[in-house]
Amino acid sequence: MLKYTFIFLVVLFVATTTKASDVYNLEGTLGKSKIYMHFQDYTDDYPEEEPRILDVRYFYSSSLKDIVLEGTREGSTFTFYFDLDETAFKEKFVINKDTKGNFSGTWQGSNGKTLKVVLRPISLNVITNNYDHLKLVQDYKKTNPFEYIRSSKLKFKTDSTSQFQGGKFRWLSETHGTTYGFYLDSTFSQKNRDCINPRLEEILVENAMNQLTCSSQWEYSSGNGIERSLSLNYLDKNLLSFTLFESWFCGGAHPDFGKSCYLLDLNTGKNYEFEELFSFDASSVVYDETNDNFTQYTDYRSIFFAPKIVSLLLEHELISQDYNSEDDPCMELYNSPESWTFSDWEFTSDGIVFTPSVFRAARACETESFLLPFSVLSKWKVSKFPYSFPNQ
């Protein structure tokens, strides 16, 4: 999960070091269709340069999926478009801003069809959002009305139920995209459902929002953007483990992929971090961005955690120091502690499955994972962890 924190920190740095912009969050109509639009205008901050209209996106109320455009401004006239090539466009908006912050103009399609566009600032006063209890949505309401509106329109439907290790799970999908997930069903106690289902709902909503906003300015209305697979790893009366694997392309230079691994306490709803189960040194600490302990966390991970993982993999012959780096470049990475500093881990009935984290050019080496049994790791169990490990 920390890999995604790094991405957030980079975006935050850019956002806080860029000059101020005029941010527009608009609602209105394109022809007879209800739409919502967002863009940021930096033109007045860079008067000597080409006009800068950034992060131009809009979605139809019926689909919720972002369409990403490019934009320019001349005076009070804004032009947004998606180029098919150097001589043609897929669609184009030409809208004019009045003194009250409202916009009107036209939309033109590649076939020459023209429709009227009328937009005004988004008003949240009449919006009902079924997810107002989620922190993610509360943050949208405070800072991002464009996404708050989208989140209010999410709809989930039940697709099926399944059994896993004696537990019944209800599977759902979001009707505007391909996001899916699960809730605990009737075989679980009401206490367990009350603790876990709100956490699962939060994951569902966040994943659905990510899916609908993952669009590229180079591929028109670029499909799903994110492909996911969700696997249940472990269940007993106290713990539930599952993994969400995602691959995505949302614009930028390269597609990417990654895991989100969860170990939830059925009695409290807590999601455990590895350092709450095992500690290889007294300096071990759980990363907490609110306590600003990133340096302490990375020091422990690089000095104690990563070297220990390498030594255990070597000791139990899961990796080898006898390799030819030209024939087996991944093995060279598996022998390097840097590959394990921020590795993913999954709790299973047999032990902890570790997956390395390596530089982009070698991402294929992240497709292999390594199991260390609980019998190997149990000597480093944290005394405060309240449960026994499987078969221990």
Domains and CATH numbers, the chain: 22-121 (2.40.128), 125-153 (no CATH), 272-392 (no CATH)
- pLDDT over 70 at 18, yes or no: no
Q: Distance between CA 8 and CA 388 in Å, rounded?
A: 35
Q: How many Cβ atoms sit within 10 Å of the Cβ of residue 97?
A: 19
- Span 237-272, pLDDT tens digits: 999 999 999 887 787 666 677 889 999 999 999 999
Comparison of pLDDT for 226 and 6, the residue scoring more:
226
What local confidence, expressed as pLDDT, does residue 37 receive?
A: 98
HEC profile of 119-160: EEECCCCCCCCCCCCCHHHHHHHHHCHHHHHHHHCCCEEEEE
Q: Look at phi and psi of residue 31 and say left if phi exceeds 0, alpha if psi is from -120 to 50, else beta.
A: left
- Span 92-132, pLDDT tens digits: 999 999 999 999 999 999 888 999 999 999 999 989 999 99
Assign 220 a pLDDT band (cuts: 50, 70, 90): low
- Span 148-186, pLDDT tens digits: 999 999 999 999 999 999 999 999 999 999 999 999 999
Of residues 244, 130, 123, 129, the one with CA closest to residue 180: 244
- ∠ CA 255-258-262, nearest 5°, is 155
HEC profile of 191-232: HHHHHHHHHHHHHHHHHHHHHHHCCCCCCCCCCCCEEEEEEE
Q: Distance between CA 93 and CA 119 in Å, rounded?
A: 12
Q: Distance between CA 29 and CA 372 in Å, rounded?
A: 57
- pLDDT over 50 at 338, yes or no: yes
- pLDDT over 70 at 45, yes or no: no
